[in-house]
Structure formats: structure tokens, C-alpha cells
Chain A
Amino acid sequence: MKITLTLNGSKVTHDVEPRETLADFVRDRCGLTATHLGCEHGACGACTVVLDGEVTRACLMLAVMCDGRTVETLEGFRNHPAMEVIRKHFHECHGLQCGFCTPGMLLMARDILARKPGCDADTVRYELSGQICRCTGYSGIVKSIVSAGQELAGKAPAKA
């Protein structure tokens, strides 16, 4: 089936199989490999992308269902102001170890801080419960998101 969608601001058209997930579409058809595939059944959050402005698991969405819609992968957030702040805090607070879960963590962090600006660590932990870090580096990740949230909300960043 031929589909056309807006991917990171550009129109793309491809012929896809109906069973092809959005995750396979962005990685294999479009070469955008920031979207990682962990579990492929919605449990791990590594394949998180943004569909029509909403965080989405790319393994739980068929590419054909995205025909005519707008998709953003982590590559599309390179110059995004909030994402620059979030990236900086992931760097400073040791928010990644092996890096496999990081693309999903960054996109989810942006979504959490957009919906719940300046939220506390308990809220971040609840909201992050669908993102799995197999290195178990959660304390650094939570710290990164909380301190990025404070900077974005105009508060002084918390002491590490």
C-alpha cells in the first residue's frame, strides 16, 4: 500500500506492507535509527515516537495507520529548545549508561515536562513506568528529568 506522511517536517511516500509497524517503517524504510526496538510488544518504550503531537509506541502502530499524519522521531528534535535542555541534564546527571533506552527516555521526558511542568521525582517515576532501562539507571534518569523540568519551569536546578 502506498502511504504518504510528514516525517520530521518532510513529506515522505513509500509502498509498505500492511503488517509493517511504524517502528520498522522509520528504521528500515527511512533510515532513522534513533528509534530503537526492544520488546516489539509495547512493554519497553524504546521505540517511542511522536504521532500528531502525542507520544506513541512505534511498535504498536502500523505504518498504514499513519497515512496522512505527522510523525516525529528523536532526529526531528535536534534543534528543539526544550530537548536541548533535557539533553544537557541527561549529560550532567548521568541519565544514560548504555544508551539503548535513551531515545525513548528523551521523548518521554519532553512529554512528561510538557504535561506536568516542573513535576517532582515521584511523578516522574510514575510517568516513566512504561520506559524500561535494562542498565537499571533509573535514579540518574529521574534526576535528569526533574532538574531539566526545574530549568524549563524557570526554577533553579536542584543540586545533584
Chain B
Amino acid sequence: MKSAPFDYVRPESVAEASALLAQDGVTTAAIAGGQSLIPMLSLRAAQADLLVDVSRLDELKAVRETPQALHIGALTTHAAIEDGKIPDPFNGLMRRVASTISYRAVRNHGTIGGSVALADPAADWPGCLMALGATVHIAGPGGTRQQPVVDFVKGLYETTLASGEIVIGFDVPRPTSPLCWGFAKVVRKSGAFANSIAIVVAPGKGGPITAVLSAAGPRPIALANAARALGNGAMSDDTLRTAIAADLKADLPGADAYEQRLHTATVLRAAREMQATS
């Protein structure tokens, strides 16, 4: 459980970090909280020649509110979100999600930017930010760019981040009326990697509904049929189950009988919680 040797550098600016990460012939990795990367290095599931510590870069810590959106700096920790240390225009959804991530000692250091950049299929933030329609801000050797989180996360530990690029933060659109949401997660024990995570959100009464299922496939899945059924006011379990089954058939064709029951249960629970608050 000891990492192979690597070098370590703590740059003073995003530009410097980006140049260090983009070096040719060197396997580099950005480290922020390190709560996933360090155990992966220790287990030798990941290897790096050079760790670039971005955890003290102020540009990645900014949290700003505008009338349209909340900007959340990439270095914002799960614990800061859990404790309400950043504004919460989402009616408690992000606080609830944060409070269920791993354990408090891990939440004190793990960051939202690191979670999305790693794109672990069992992670909470990629699916949550997809459900909220968030955009990721990225800085790299070629300047800055923005991309919807739904397009940024491509698959198992795979994003569109190119060599030398760093996640700066996220713009999460402010709901037009109080957000109605439901969140359900199944884990074998509190804080363990999730087996299924469902988030259903409606930006106010009658708003367009989004349903996202995580920890089921290589990346979070938007459930179009379930969202449509909920938008049409579907209340009966049978109608919802049929819609969820259609989504699972289309997006998760390899799911066995247990997985189908599991994911159907989390989506139903999230949908019921959302309906109870709307």
C-alpha cells in the first residue's frame, strides 16, 4: 500500500500548472484533495511520474453568485457544500448529496472539481451537476473553454479533458422557482461506493423534469422516458415502472434482474421524494 515513487510540484498559477501538466514524455496528474488519487496511487491502480498540486490555486477556489447562476470553484470541498458554506439556490439538493459522499474525513478534502474530473462511475457530482444543467469551466494551454457537464463526462473515468487542461469550476444555473428534487442512493454501507444513485429535479412547479441515474453504467444516464412520464403527471407506480423499464432497456441493456430492480427502486424513491416536495 505504498505508492511507487513520483515527483511533486506545487505551481503558483493556473498557467504554470497547465504547462507542467502538458509536458511531453512525462505521465502527469493534477492533485487537489487527493482523496481518490492517493489511494489509487497507493494501490498502484494509477501511476504518475509527476504530481502537480493545484490545491492552493486561488482561481480554483472562487465561489460567485450571479442572477443567472452560481459559480462553484473546483476546489470547493464536499464538506463545505454539506455545511452550507457556499450559497444554496438548489433548495438543499447539493447539501444532501454532499452529506452522503464517503466519510467526513474524506469530505473535508475531496473536491467537486476532482470528483467530476476523475469521472468515477459511482461518483455523486457528475450526475448531480448533469441533472442541474451545469457547465464546466476549463483552463488549458490553449486558453479557457466551457462545456456542459453532460458532454464533458464521456465514460468510465473518461472526460474531454486534454493534456494540460484543468477544471476551474462550474456554473450551475439558478432555478427560476424553488427547486423540487428527490435523491435516492443505495450503498452496501454508509459512505461506501454507490451501487445506484437517482436524482430527479424539477425547477419549480410544472418545470421540465430531469431524471439522472448514476453508478449504473460507465457514466450517468439521463432517463428520458421516466422524466417524460413524471412531466405528464404520472403518479401510479405501474406507469413509472414501465417508463423506467424502457429507459433501462435503452440505456442499460446489460442490466440483470437484480440491477433492474435496484435502479428501478432508486428512481422510484427519488421520484416520490420530488413529488412530495412539489
Chain A residues within CB distance 8 Å of chain B: 1, 17-19, 21, 24, 39-42, 45, 48, 51, 54-57, 59-62, 64-65, 67, 108, 111-112, 115, 126-127, 129-131
Closest to A127 in B: B104
**Does the CB pair A56–B51 fall under 8 Å?**
no
Closest to A107 in B: B105
**Does the CB pair A60–B191 fall under 8 Å?**
no
Interface residues of B in 137-176 (CB under 8 A from A): none
Q: Compute how far the CA of A39 lies from the CA of B2 in the bound complex, rounded to whole angstroms.
A: 11
B residues in contact with A108, CB < 8 Å: 104-105
**Does the CB pair B1–A129 fall under 8 Å?**
no
Interface residue from B6, B35, B79 paired with A60 (Cβ < 8 Å)? B35
Q: Compute how far the CA of A127 lies from the CA of B103 in the bound complex, rounded to whole angstroms.
A: 7
Q: Are A60 and B103 CB-contacts (below 8 A) given A19-B5, A54-B108, A130-B191?
A: no
Q: Compute how far the CA of A81 lies from the CA of B109 in the bound complex, rounded to whole angstroms.
A: 26
Interchain nearest-CB distance for A127 vs B (Å): 6
Interface pick from B11-19, B39-47, B125-133, B240-248 = B39-47
Q: Are A61 and B38 CB-contacts (below 8 A) given A56-B108, A108-B105?
A: yes
Interchain nearest-CB distance for B60 vs A (Å): 15
**Does the CB pair A19–B3 fall under 8 Å?**
yes
Count of chain B residues with a beta carbon within 8 Å of a chain A beta carbon: 31
Q: Compute how far the CA of A38 lies from the CA of B38 in the bound complex, rounded to whole angstroms.
A: 16
Whether B55 is near chain A, meaning CB under 8 Å from some CB there, is: yes
**Does the CB pair B34–A45 fall under 8 Å?**
no
**Does the CB pair B108–A19 fall under 8 Å?**
no
Q: Compute how far the CA of A51 lies from the CA of B108 in the bound complex, rounded to whole angstroms.
A: 10
Q: Compute how far the CA of A108 lies from the CA of B108 in the bound complex, rounded to whole angstroms.
A: 13
Q: Are A129 and B42 CB-contacts (below 8 A) given A17-B5, A57-B106?
A: no
Closest to B7 in A: A18
Closest to B105 in A: A55
**Does the CB pair A59–B42 fall under 8 Å?**
yes
Q: Compute how far the CA of A61 lies from the CA of B5 in the bound complex, rounded to whole angstroms.
A: 15
A residues in contact with B10, CB < 8 Å: 64, 67
Q: Are A39 and B38 CB-contacts (below 8 A) given A1-B8, A19-B6?
A: no
Interface residue from B2, B4, B103 paired with A45 (Cβ < 8 Å)? B103
Known: A62-B31, A65-B31. 15 other contacts (CB 8 A): A1-B8, A17-B5, A19-B41, A42-B102, A51-B108, A54-B105, A55-B105, A57-B105, A57-B106, A59-B42, A64-B53, A112-B104, A129-B189, A130-B103, A130-B104
**Does the CB pair B53–A65 fall under 8 Å?**
yes
Whether B27 is near chain A, meaning CB under 8 Å from some CB there, is: no
Interchain nearest-CB distance for A126 vs B (Å): 6
Closest to A40 in B: B1
B residues in contact with A56, CB < 8 Å: 105, 108-109
Interchain nearest-CB distance for A45 vs B (Å): 7
Interchain nearest-CB distance for A5 vs B (Å): 14
**Does the CB pair B104–A42 fall under 8 Å?**
no
B residues in contact with A39, CB < 8 Å: 1
**Does the CB pair B38–A60 fall under 8 Å?**
yes
B residues in contact with A127, CB < 8 Å: 104
Interface residue from B6, B39, B53, B105 paired with A130 (Cβ < 8 Å)? B105
